[in-house]
Chains A and B, each alone.
Chain A
Amino acid sequence: MNTLAELWRFDSPVWLPAAMLLLGYSVVFRRASLPRFLAFGLGLGLLVLAFISPLGALADGYLFSAHMVQHLVLLLLVPLSFMLALPPRETEQLFARPLANRVGKIMAFPVVGCLLGVGAMWFWHVPSLCSASTENAAIGAVRDTSFVAAGLAFWWPVFSPVARYRLEPLSGITYLFTSCLGCTLLGIYITFTTVSVCPAFANPQERIDVVTQLYDAGLTPSVDQHLGGLLMWIPPCTLYVLASVALLFRWYGEPPASSETTEAN
């Protein structure tokens, strides 16, 4: 019998991309302010934790709900932290070149971000793909990378450090709300369907001696999928609403100068 504490996997290959990202950020944005560096560190920490913590081990074919948590961390939280870590001036310079500017502009189309962000959720939960990416490490790596990339594309129109790529705050809220409906539908489907969405999790192979424990704790495959669906449904929408609140503050804070904005009263 394994306890949760024994499921930490410090030998996960995630350290490699994490180290590369850290190196890249430190070189490109060496003059970034401390809060931005901390945001980057947070993103990096979440990325590493998603794989080395027991969550990563359980997501590897044992618990669909653990997979879903990992999925949401990679698709939403890690990219959001990275996005907030980009210092505006340096990023502005990076996107000054015509080719980069074009990429930035394409990414700024709300349809692109929405399709990539919500599409990644739907695409990787097609039963055959979901199982394949769980059972095959290479496909799994592709999936995880695509999550982070899609997440960056998703947050770009909302929190891009370059102002010209950002949506107007009210349009941004509409964008987030539409995306919320997108993942709500998927969440509802996963929660209520009687079909197994990710067959790999329906019959886990006992490799790390946890399955009995999980079943004893009540986490049978159907309960597990139920939880997974709810995770896909409620937390992303809550995060989107929080992001909408940030946009509202930006919108009401719009008039320049004067320290006496309404919020300050």
Chain B
Amino acid sequence: MTVGLLDKPQVEPADSPWGLFSWVASVDHKRIGIMYMLLAVFFLTVGGCEALLIRLQLAWPNNGFISPQFFNQLFTMHGTTMVFLVGMPVFTGFSNYILPLQIGAKDVAFPRLNAMSFWMLPFGAVLLYFSFFTGAAPDAGWFSYAPLSTNAYSLMDGVTYWILALIVMGIGSVAGAINIVATALCCRAPGMSLQRVPLFTWIMLMQALLIVITIPPLNSALALLLIDRWLDAAFFEPARGGDAVLWQHFFWIFGHPEVYVFALPAFAMISEVIPVFSRKPIFGYAFVAGSSTVILLLSYSVWAHHMFAVGLGPGANVFFAATTMLIAIPTGIKIFNWTATIWGGQVHFTTSMLFAIAFLIQFVIGGLTGVMFAAVPIDWQLTDTYFVVAHFHYVLIGGVVFALFAAHNYCFPKITGRMLDERLGKWQFWLWVFGFNGTFMVQHFLGLMGMPRRVYTYADNPGWFALNLFSSVSALFMAAGTLVFLYNVGRSLLRGERAGNNPWSAFTLEWATSSPPPPENFQSLPPIKSRRPVWDMDHPEMADWKTERTAEDGGRRPSKALIAAWAFVASEAIFFTLLLVTYVVFNTRAGLDDGSPGDGPSAASSLSVVRTGVFSVFLLTSSLTFWLAERNLKRRRQRAFKTWLAVTIGLGSLFVAGQVWEYAGLLADNVTISSNLFASTFFTVTGFHGLHVTAGLVALGVMLWFGYKNYLTEKRGKVFSAIGIYWHFVDVVWIAVFSIIYLRALQ
């Protein structure tokens, strides 16, 4: 009972355990998980209503019910809402609720950070939806392609609200993901080796890692676009030398892995539901787990298949077609594993299992049309038609949402202590199956006939009216299914049958505690000797560990603070890499780099390499003095520690002062962020670096204050080391910045 179980104080107010304030102030992973899910359900209905309006507008040809402008806003908000306010929160919610229980932990690694991550979401949601009140909701599509999203074409504030909302929610997502990573790696109960964690936990760990590396490209793109919009730079404005395709690259470097951010949790949930209702262990655990890891590794190398129509050249098309087909393999493997798990099992056709089976079939359809798009000529033919809409809705609804409903029916008894009504559940299931397939199957045909997406109405071409009307009417079935779902939840909460600890005779640790679990999660844990500890506990004579050996738990757990610091640094490294890529893109183009003066300032003409070199030495030395401070802290020499820490802060401050001096000089020479693309990229890269140094200085200042108060105990020493990782990282980034910007200017 040592690891990660005991060290968090409960901050729940004791008096009114179920009052509203106790939810707002809660740091309990279960309550935060529930709040994530409720938020997602709320926005599912909002985004769903937007979708219904879209379908109403498209129900018949030449319809004038909705203006083109409002139609653009609707599909933009529908996409953005479903991705960022439904998809991301609901998975984080499940992860938050289930993952700590599955690994026998008392809470997530950082409960307060968890609360912050959640509350960023409503903040972002308000920003996003407030745009409606300004009279101009974002209308440039969920990917806000430049130059449409730049000032020249989107004068109103809608896109700006969109950017700010996404940045805010992105920060929350990364923080939440880091929390999940640290929880899964550091808070497992004794006996739970990483080879023994339930598949849900393993795949959600992969998903969290993916979020950590996939949100930063979006954030850097958003930062650049915001600088374009607010500070009049021209990163994405071709008319002023910018590059609109760069936005597409950055967006899809985020956007394609984001698809796996959604698909992986679906896989995770299905991998729990199918074995339990087939009464068998999963077939080929290592294949399911390993292929999820492979998806994580490959997901970064396929983004350009969203850009086949841009004209990247035949070479790029061939390679990205190949990688896209390659990434279908690990997904296909899992389909076989799930099917083989059902095969020969005693299948219990609960609502949850029905949703899982429908998932299997519909996801295969969505996956296969995805492989079709990997063939470049097919992509060219079908891009921007309703075939694309049909494809990704098969993946995202037919796959992901159905998996979510499977998980919802499976987990509801654990979360609330009440069973859902099976009869209502089956109503919901069939309404959704007919509604979903009716809505989107016909859109394949519309796409093949050439109906373009994102256009507010269509001419009365042969067959289009009938198919669109069929699609729109079917959408109502999904809406009805959703009403049944909401009614079922409400009714079951009040009058549902009591669930008991383990109503499904499931296998994993969350079912070893009461439903709902107490705030501390577990009174006691069963011994963990295999991947199915609850099965072992209930069936000692047929326990898994008697027939199947899995790696023993060595008992070592990494430090939470260090894992979090490394994950954060990885995320930041990708952010800076993309900013530096931007710098290189705009400063090495033929014609700018060949010694010709170009227009306006350049690195060679406006930077003082020697002076900045001297200030760089200060910054790099501060890494050394930090290391000395850390060493003295470990040896408990408080005085020397404080001295070296103060020196570190001093050196860092000198560096910042140097940067201020440099900026002042440039501004005096009329070199501003909007002068030209050199100046824009220069100020962006060094500005963000300067901000990071400043943040580091604040953290170090807090540490120094802690030092004077003698707060830095052994345990907080880890926090100090974590800040150290960040501080060294900031220095390493500066080495890259200095080499790329300043040393190149010498040539």
Assuming A226-B316, A254-B551, A258-B549, is B294 touching A195 (CB within 8 A)? Answer: no
> Size class of B's contact patch?
35 or more
Is residue A134 contacting chain B, with contact meaning CB distance below 8 A?
no
Is residue B548 contacting chain A, with contact meaning CB distance below 8 A?
yes
Q: Which one, B313, B315, B547, contacts A260 given CB within 8 A?
A: B547
Taking the nearest CB of chain B, how far is it from the CB of A212, in angstroms? 21
Is residue A255 contacting chain B, with contact meaning CB distance below 8 A?
yes
Assuming A254-B195, A262-B285, is B316 touching A248 (CB within 8 A)? Answer: no
Residue of B whose beta carbon sits closest to that of A185: B577
Taking the nearest CB of chain A, how far is it from the CB of B244, in angstroms? 14
Determine, out of A90-98, A156-164, A231-239, the stretch whose residues face the partner at the interface. Answer: A231-239
Task: Report yes or no: A234 in contact with B293, Cβ–Cβ below 8 A.
Answer: no
Assuming A195-B593, A258-B549, is B297 touching A252 (CB within 8 A)? Answer: no
Is residue A249 contacting chain B, with contact meaning CB distance below 8 A?
yes
Contacts of B301 in A (CB 8 A): 180, 184, 233-234, 237-238
Q: Which one, B195, B297, B319, B547, contacts A180 given CB within 8 A?
A: B297
Report how far A241 CA is from B294 CA in the complex, Å. 7
Task: Report yes or no: A234 in contact with B286, Cβ–Cβ below 8 A.
Answer: no
Contacts of B294 in A (CB 8 A): 241, 244-245, 248
Contacts of B289 in A (CB 8 A): 248, 252
Task: Report yes or no: B293 in contact with A173, Cβ–Cβ below 8 A.
Answer: yes
Task: Report yes or no: B551 in contact with A255, Cβ–Cβ below 8 A.
Answer: yes
Task: Report yes or no: A249 in contact with B315, Cβ–Cβ below 8 A.
Answer: no
Task: Report yes or no: A241 in contact with B284, Cβ–Cβ below 8 A.
Answer: no
Task: Report yes or no: B284 in contact with A263, Cβ–Cβ below 8 A.
Answer: yes
Is residue A2 contacting chain B, with contact meaning CB distance below 8 A?
no
Task: Report yes or no: A245 in contact with B290, Cβ–Cβ below 8 A.
Answer: yes
Task: Report yes or no: B552 in contact with A238, Cβ–Cβ below 8 A.
Answer: no
Taking the nearest CB of chain A, how far is it from the CB of B201, in angstroms? 15
Task: Report yes or no: B585 in contact with A234, Cβ–Cβ below 8 A.
Answer: no
Residue of A whose beta carbon sits closest to that of B591: A194
Task: Report yes or no: A230 in contact with B286, Cβ–Cβ below 8 A.
Answer: no
Contact with B along A245-265 (1 / 0, CB 8 A): 100110110111110111101
Residue of B whose beta carbon sits closest to that of A237: B301
Taking the nearest CB of chain B, how far is it from the CB of A218, in angstroms? 8
Report how far A249 CA is from B287 CA in the complex, Å. 9
> Size class of A's contact patch?
35 or more
Task: Report yes or no: A252 in contact with B584, Cβ–Cβ below 8 A.
Answer: no
Chain B positions 546-569 with a Cβ under 8 Å from a chain A Cβ: 547-552
Contacts of B323 in A (CB 8 A): 234, 238
Report how far A191 CA is from B301 CA in the complex, Å. 14
Report how far A255 CA is from B529 CA in the complex, Å. 13
Task: Report yes or no: B315 in contact with A252, Cβ–Cβ below 8 A.
Answer: no
Report how far A252 CA is from B590 CA in the complex, Å. 50
Report how far A177 CA is from B300 CA in the complex, Å. 10
Is residue B326 contacting chain A, with contact meaning CB distance below 8 A?
yes
Assuming A234-B323, A244-B294, A257-B549, is B590 touching A195 (CB within 8 A)? Answer: yes
Q: Which one, B283, B284, B319, contacts A230 given CB within 8 A?
A: B319
Residue of A whose beta carbon sits closest to that of B547: A260
Report how far A230 CA is from B317 CA in the complex, Å. 10
Is residue B259 contacting chain A, with contact meaning CB distance below 8 A?
no
Task: Report yes or no: A238 in contact with B315, Cβ–Cβ below 8 A.
Answer: no
Task: Report yes or no: B316 in contact with A173, Cβ–Cβ below 8 A.
Answer: no
Task: Report yes or no: B297 in contact with A263, Cβ–Cβ below 8 A.
Answer: no
Report how far A254 CA is from B285 CA in the complex, Å. 14
Report how far A226 CA is from B317 CA in the complex, Å. 11
Is residue B136 contacting chain A, with contact meaning CB distance below 8 A?
no
Is residue A111 contacting chain B, with contact meaning CB distance below 8 A?
no
Task: Report yes or no: B287 in contact with A188, Cβ–Cβ below 8 A.
Answer: no
Is residue A223 contacting chain B, with contact meaning CB distance below 8 A?
yes
Report how far A245 CA is from B287 CA in the complex, Å. 10
Is residue A189 contacting chain B, with contact meaning CB distance below 8 A?
yes
Task: Report yes or no: A249 in contact with B195, Cβ–Cβ below 8 A.
Answer: no
Report how far A85 CA is from B576 CA in the complex, Å. 40
Task: Report yes or no: A238 in contact with B326, Cβ–Cβ below 8 A.
Answer: yes
Is residue A227 contacting chain B, with contact meaning CB distance below 8 A?
yes
Task: Report yes or no: B315 in contact with A226, Cβ–Cβ below 8 A.
Answer: yes
Task: Report yes or no: A252 in contact with B286, Cβ–Cβ below 8 A.
Answer: yes
Is residue A193 contacting chain B, with contact meaning CB distance below 8 A?
yes
Contacts of A123 in B (CB 8 A): none
Is residue A10 contacting chain B, with contact meaning CB distance below 8 A?
no
Is residue B709 contacting chain A, with contact meaning CB distance below 8 A?
no
Contacts of A255 in B (CB 8 A): 549-552
Is residue A215 contacting chain B, with contact meaning CB distance below 8 A?
no
Residue of A whose beta carbon sits closest to that of B574: A181
Contacts of B589 in A (CB 8 A): 194-195
Taking the nearest CB of chain A, how far is it from the CB of B182, in angstroms? 15
Task: Report yes or no: B585 in contact with A192, Cβ–Cβ below 8 A.
Answer: yes
Is residue A170 contacting chain B, with contact meaning CB distance below 8 A?
yes
Contacts of B300 in A (CB 8 A): 180-181, 184
Task: Report yes or no: A252 in contact with B290, Cβ–Cβ below 8 A.
Answer: yes
Best-buried of B195, B285, B297 by chain A (most CB within 10 Å): B297
Contacts of A248 in B (CB 8 A): 286, 289-290, 293-294
Nearest 8 pairs between A and B by C-beta? A252-B286, A248-B290, A255-B549, A194-B590, A227-B315, A230-B319, A254-B551, A258-B549
> 17 more A-B contacts (CB under 8 A) besides A177-B297, A240-B297, A258-B548?
A173-B297, A180-B300, A188-B581, A195-B589, A195-B593, A226-B313, A234-B319, A234-B323, A238-B323, A249-B290, A252-B290, A255-B550, A255-B552, A257-B549, A260-B549, A262-B548, A263-B286
Q: Provide a sorted-by-A list of 6 A–B residue pairs whose CB atoms are within 8 angstroms.
A: A180-B297, A181-B300, A248-B286, A252-B289, A256-B549, A260-B548
